[in-house]
Amino acid sequence: MMLRMRDWVTVLPLLLLTACSMPSSIAQAPPAATPPAATPPAAVAPEPPTPFDLGRADIAGWIDEIAARHSVPAEDLRDLLATGRRQPAILAAISRPAENVMTWWEYREKLVSEQRIAEGTAFWKTHRQSLDAISARTGVDSAYLVAIIGVESSYGRRAGTWRVLDALMTLGFDYPRRSKFFLAELEQFLLLVREERLDPATALGSYAGAMGSPQFMPSSYRRLAVDGSGDGRRDLFTDWDDVFSSVANYFVASGWQRGAQVITEATAPEEVFAALDRRNLDLKDTAESLRARGVRFDPAVAVDTPLILIPAEQRDGPGVRVGFANFRVITRYNRSILYAMAVHDLADALRARTAAAAP
Ligand SMILES: [Ca+2]
């Protein structure tokens, strides 16, 4: 994920959700978010960053455990972790309650903005050769690769300004509610640093520790990033071939179907809309079961096609859309139906703009 903290500090659910493989308790939090504008000034300035007390029993125990598990000297681990800083501003941000949950049309206006479409069209043009090659190889349309990077980091411009080491240590050691998750990611980060020869002093990311323009958490980075440029390293910070290949690989690993639909527009009776489970991310319906409830959409969709009925409020009232298996794939990248719809709509807008500009 994503987005400079100062712009998005109130959009916490979005930031967290974008962390690729967040656990389901976070993943199924109400879809993002609060309006990104107007963060009230903090009443009290956050405390300054400080080193961690590595002698603290839980921290010392964790270091010994990790050292033993990966056969590294505990002293080396302590030397590295001694450079980490506890960032109270991260704790303040992650603890801030989400306020108004955005409706789909509000969310869409924020994420599928004219600026993001214009920048994405230019970005696509710049990287066309690489995107086309990776798309042909993997079956993931270039428009979706560009859209993911556009939503995650504004095409790499906003990939995060926190040191990943600080973020993961702060949340792992001092945010009990998600400690287990973030300590697991810290462990993954330490392994990643070693494997990919990253510099932990300078590796930057979101305040939840997501890295590079596609905003991979360390576990996703280790599991799913690929070396698209063939130089023997997986570099999601500066190597666009690696970035595009890795996002495509994430999609493929989540079940992306080449050339298949993502979303189709639909209408539904009011009571069907009202009864929708907004947290559902699974293909619980089929074309047949939806039609039986009065949902109307493309009659060409075969009766046994697995589908999800998606709430999509419009400015003027209720709205629904129907998602296919590829829609579900996008929610694996970030477990939010609003996010997945925004990626799809941005991809559509980028395709339309790019086609219109073609000679
Ligand atoms: Ca590479």
Residues in contact with 276: Cβ distance below 8 Å, sequence separation at least 6, in sequence order: 309, 310, 311, 320
CA of 126 to the centre of ligand 1 (A): 19
Ligand 1 centre to CA of 159 (Å) is 18
Tens-level pLDDT at each residue, the chain (359 residues) = 433 333 333 333 344 444 444 433 333 333 333 334 444 555 567 789 999 999 999 999 999 999 999 999 999 999 999 999 999 999 999 988 766 678 999 999 999 999 999 999 999 999 999 999 999 999 999 999 999 999 999 999 999 999 999 999 999 999 999 999 999 999 999 999 999 999 999 999 999 999 999 999 999 999 999 999 999 999 999 999 999 999 999 999 999 999 999 999 999 999 999 999 989 999 999 999 999 999 999 999 999 999 999 999 999 999 999 999 999 999 999 999 999 999 999 999 999 999 998 77
Residues with CB under 5 A from ligand 1 (ion): 227, 229, 231, 233, 239, 242
Residue in 261, 265, 277, 276 with CA at minimum distance from that of residue 321: 265
Q: What is the model's pTM?
A: 0.87
How many angstroms is it from 294 CA to the middle of ligand 1?
50
Cα–Cα dist 196/1, whole Å: 20
- Measure 224 CA to ligand 1 centroid, in angstroms: 13
Q: Which of 65, 106, 152, 271 is labelled catalytic?
A: 152
Residue 303 and residue 105: Cα distance in Å, rounded? Answer: 29
Residue 271 annotated to the active site? no
Each domain of the chain, given as residue ranges in start order, spans 263-323
Ligand 1 centroid from CA 235, angstroms: 5
